[in-house]
Structure 1
Amino acid sequence: MSKVSIIMPIYNVAEQLEKAIQCALNQTYQNIEIILVNDGSTDESGEICDRYSLKNPHITVIHQKNAGSGFARNAGLDKATGEYIYFADPDDYFEANLVEETVAKAIESNADLVVFGYFDEVVDKEGKVTKTEKMPTLNGLQKKEAFRADFRRHYALSPYALWNKLYKHEFLKQHTIRFTNQKVGQDALFNQLVGFDIETVYYHQKAYYHYVFREGSAVNRYRKERFFYEYTIADQFEEWMLYWKKEEEYHDLVNQHYWGALYLELSNLAWEDCPLTLPEKEERIEELMQDPKIKQAIAEIETEKEKNSFVKLLILLLRYEKYSTALKLMQTRIIIGKKFQKSFKVIKNLLIKSK
């Protein structure tokens, strides 16, 4: 019976942590180890981990100074003894049969990776949950050539998420696949490295994981290194496609990655706490537009196929070097977005009361 290591990086999630740990303990598959990596939490998370480990021999706790979720997962990988690795987040939850059913598919197919469905859950401030099921369109075993040929369909379902995938440990060790110290997007970089030399992927059309987004929990603030993080992901994606010799076939996806890096930087510059002056922001956009990869992406994206009118207009403004207007458009989008959310809540409450 193959052993499965469930690795959970933990940082200041005391409120949700016990539910996540209990999900791991409730697995119908018995041959598991649960590795909780307390990444320098300043709340009660560390004490909760220790309390559970004293009661259950399946649990191992690692306490380390805060180094980010990537290094926390690396610490878990260093400790893991399982033939398969599963990464769970401590603020989500998952079904009791996740490990049993996915590891069965992995063993049956001898796959390096199993990809499965999940539930997108949005919890509003009143506690109401809106749930959407997300499922892979591919089904069954895909070998290397088929995986590369059908890559768009793989890419369509959260390709960089960790929690809807089960990894063969030997594959990760053989290719020295580790997390970087990048604070944002290390899961993307990890999954890209997995994709370089993947031989077999099994797609299982069943949802097990509940990815929870709590309204009001996201902190939208200026991050000085945001563009660097996203550009690194785009750069490694291009390297990946070159390695596959698929750079022409998936050239549009390469462009989308570079465009995504610029888009997120525009949003970053538009946040209220951005310390740069308006001329400095414009200078920053102009500087980024001189990057050959960014410039090519903006020039080549087919705006006539873009369904989102805001995105289409933004690309055209950048293409014609209207940087100040592009920035104002992004700022307007953020302001309207906030007001729309508030207005929507008021309308929704009125409708509920009228019933």
Structure 2
Amino acid sequence: MSDVKISIIMPVYKVEEYVGKAIESILSQTFTDYEFLIVDDGTPDRSGEICDAYAAKDSRIQVIHKENGGAPSARNTAIDMAKGKYVYFLDSDDWAEKTMLQDMYDMAEQHNAQLVVCGYYIDTYYGDKHLSEKIYVDDKVFTDAKSFREESYRYFDRNMLYTPWNKLYRLDYMREHGLYFPQTLWDDFPFNISYIRNVESVVVSTKAYYHFIRARAESETAAYRADMYEKREEEHGWMQDLYREWGVDNAPTQEMIARRYIERMVGCIANVTSSKCTLTGKQRRAEIRKMLHNPHVDATLKVANPHSKYMKIMLIPIRWKNTYLTWLESAVITFVKERNTKLFAKLKAGR
């Protein structure tokens, strides 16, 4: 373990049905100069035991058992222990194709990159069938901060910059800037914003290796979150602050920020109309009314250019600031989502 090139970090919690495949996908990698730091985040099932069994057979695997503190805490524990030149983050219910680490390492070394960003697959399961969608952009190498900042909207737009598992990070850069995952809902986004804030050398690859399994993710994200709207407002502020700090205000960037905000507000309305929402009908409508009259709505609607028919239709009652129609429309869509995931995926395709 004296010549560790990549530190792979994977938090584990309640994934006994999936974690074996995630681990096997790393052990099958053509790249071998890594350490695999698995953090058992106080899981109550057999996930920790499964990881220990793999560690007993491969010295590159180290399992850290800790009290439950959430994925950010688990990742941060491993970051402090990491010895590699690069860091890769894996989710324990997904998997990676076998050439991923080698290809990402080669790209980073060839271009002395502080960040490598690759495509990925969204695998959505419907019973015994599944659909696989490749998310990617064209190859690009950035050697200065200015050019990356001016084109970064493209990568936010294709959902390439939000998650950690399609990226290879430089550990020395993380430590130089004191970067850790914050203890917050959707911690990936603020971590990545902090990481890209000062990067100068970035490699973007059209190749896709990582398989994000949507079936399990849908069940997790379907839960009602009372603070979702506040969190989305906070995210919007982070995005605005980032581009303001960068001094980037070109039209495509502003359109992306506006569309991103309005699309997520639609998601916040769906959160309120969910069958799992604990609010009364009166409280739900009051929440929707509050969202519709947020000054950000008028400002973003003037700039945003939604791509899909689904989103254009969803925005009609929002433009009218009609609380009842907005509630009714969202309630119907939420009903479809909760009972027919496949149909819902088709409705919002191309968003």
Provide TM-score, normalisation by structure 1: 0.88
**1:349 maps to what in 2?**
none
- Measured in 2, the distance between the counterparts of 1:83 and 1:341 equals 41
Q: Which runs of 4+ in 1 moved over 6 A?
A: none
Q: State the shift of 1:118 in Å.
A: 2.0
2:324 aligned partner:
324
Where does the alignment leave 5 or more consecutive residues of structure 2 unmatched?
Answer: 345-351
Paired residue for 1:293? 296
Contact 1:13 1:45 in 2 (8 A): yes
Change (3 A) 1:205 1:43: same
Match of 2:227 among 225, 228, 248: 225
Q: TM-score, normalised by structure 2?
A: 0.89
Distance apart, 1:322 and its partner CA: 0.7
For the residues of structure 1 that align with 2:194 and 2:303, how far apart are their CA atoms? 26
1:35 aligns with 37
Residues 1:276 and 2:282 aligned together: no
Q: Following TM superposition, by how much is the alpha carbon of 1:321 offset from its aligned partner in structure 2, in angstroms?
A: 2.3
Alpha-carbon separation, structure 2, partners of 1:58 and 1:27: 13
State the SS of the aligned residue for 1:75: helix
- What RMSD, in angstroms, separates the aligned Cα atoms of the two structures? 2.3
Quick one: structure 1 residues 241 and 39, their matched pair in 2 at CA, closer, same or farther if it must change by over 3 Å?
Answer: same
Q: Which secondary structure state, in structure 2, belongs to the residue aligned with residue 311 of structure 1? A: helix
Relative distance call for 1:131 and 1:284 in structure 2 (3 A) is closer
In structure 1, the residue matched to 2:196 is 195
Structure 1 residue runs of 5 or longer lacking an equivalent are 345-355
Residues 296-338 of structure 1, C-alpha deviations (whole Å, 9 max, x = no match): 224x245xx4343443343332233211210111001122445
**Correspondence for 1:257 among 235, 257, 260:** 260
2:86 corresponds to which residue? 84
Distance 1:260 1:163 in 2: 23
Distance 1:145 1:308, change over 3 A: same
Q: Which whole-Å CA distance do the structure 2 matches of 1:203 and 1:92 have between them? A: 21
Counterpart Cα distance in 2 of 1:93 and 1:146? 32
| Secondary structure of 2:158 counterpart | coil
Q: Does 1:177 align with 2:174?
A: no
In the TM superposition, residue 233 of structure 1 has moved relative to its aligned partner by 1.6
- SS class of match (1:162): coil
Inter-partner Cα distance in structure 2 for 1:31 and 1:339 = 45
Q: How far does residue 234 in structure 1 lie from its aligned partner after superposition?
A: 1.4
**How do 1:301-316 and structure 2 match up within 5 A?**
301-302=303-304, 305-316=305-316
Cα distance change on mapping 1:80 and 1:343 into 2, 3 Å: closer
- Distance in 1 between the 2:43 and 2:116 partners? 31
Question: Does the residue aligned with 2:63 lie in a helix, a strand or coil?
Answer: strand
Deviates more, 1:283-292 or 1:75-84: 283-292
CA contact (8 A) 2:135 2:208 kept: yes
Equivalent position SS for 2:219: coil
- The alpha carbon displacement at 1:167 in A equals 0.5
Q: In 1, distance between residues paired with 2:256 and 2:219?
A: 27
Residue 56 of structure 1 aligns to which amino acid in structure 2? D
16 and 144 in structure 1: CA distance in 2 versus 1, 3 angstrom threshold: same
CA contact (8 A) 2:119 2:206 kept: yes
Is the deviation greater in 246-255 or in 38-47? 246-255
Whether the 8 Å contact between 1:137 and 1:153 is mirrored in structure 2 is no
Larger Rg: 1
Q: Tell me how many residue pairs correspond in the alignment.
A: 339
Which 10-residue stretch deviates more, 148-157 or 268-277?
148-157
